[in-house]
Amino acid sequence: MLGPTNFLTRHLLNFIGAFTVFGVSIINISGAAGLLSIPLAVVAYYASNKITFAVQKSSQSKKIGISKSEYTLIDAQLKQAKSHVQALNQQYVRVRSVRSFKQINEMSKLAKRIINLVQTNPQKFYAVEDFFYAHLPSAVELSDKYTLLTKEQIPSTDVHLALEDTRKTLKELQVTMEDDLKSALSSDIENLKIELDFAKMSNEKRKDRLKIGGE
């Protein structure tokens, strides 16, 4: 959840720290022992990266109002979800019908929107936990099995029934993911309603003041 600015800042600080250690050590260590300057610089870079990353995570978690353990959990789930979306996107080249392609594409877009919302506001994670723990992983697993069965093209009643059942379940999962997206957006919608109500009240008060002034 740390952005590009955090990444660049962290590695710039790491480079400065490593370069400083390298410069100091190569000046103070003479002879063949001076070769130790390189591994010392590498160790300094690694240590600086760990420390700076921890500080950035702590600062970011405080900024968004969650604990460090919650931050670590949500960050891990976001990374896992992104890998699931990549796996889902790989099914594009394996599907054999336009309907299946559209369905996978729609689920992929829903997943990306939910992930982006949680990445922007990590507290939304708790409104869509089932999406991360169950719905998205199930969509990936079922779509993989579905495309595998369609690829085999075995003329069997059992296979046909399995395909129909899987297709139906995938459709249900798509609807469930749409509900997940609504859940992720619910707080934003509620805040928008409050802001609209406040704006209407303010506008009414302004009109009342103008009427009184006009009289």
State yes or no: pLDDT of 58 exceeds 80: no
Tens-place pLDDT, residues 100-133? 888 889 999 999 999 999 998 888 999 999 999 9
| Of 65, 111, 55, 66, the residue nearest 88 (C-alpha) | 111
Q: In this structure, are residues 53 and 10 in contact, taking their beta carbons and an 8 Å threshold?
A: yes
In the predicted model, what is the mean pLDDT of residues 1-11?
A: 67
Tens-place pLDDT, residues 137-162? 999 999 988 888 777 666 677 777 88
In the predicted model, what is the mean pLDDT of residues 62-76?
A: 83
Tens-place pLDDT, residues 158-172? 777 888 888 899 999
Q: What is the mean pLDDT of the chain?
A: 79
| pLDDT for res 87 | 93
| pLDDT for res 190 | 60
For residues 23 and 17, what is the distance between their CA atoms, to the nearest angstrom? 10
pLDDT bracket for residue 13 (50, 70, 90): confident
Non-local CB neighbours of 66 within 8 Å, separated by 6+ positions: 74, 122, 123
What percent of the chain has a predicted confidence (pLDDT) above 90?
27
| pLDDT for res 12 | 78
Radius of gyration (Cα) for the chain, nearest Å? 27
| pLDDT for res 214 | 55
Question: Is the pTM above the cut of 0.85?
Answer: no
| pLDDT for res 178 | 93
For residues 181 and 21, what is the distance between their CA atoms, to the nearest angstrom? 49
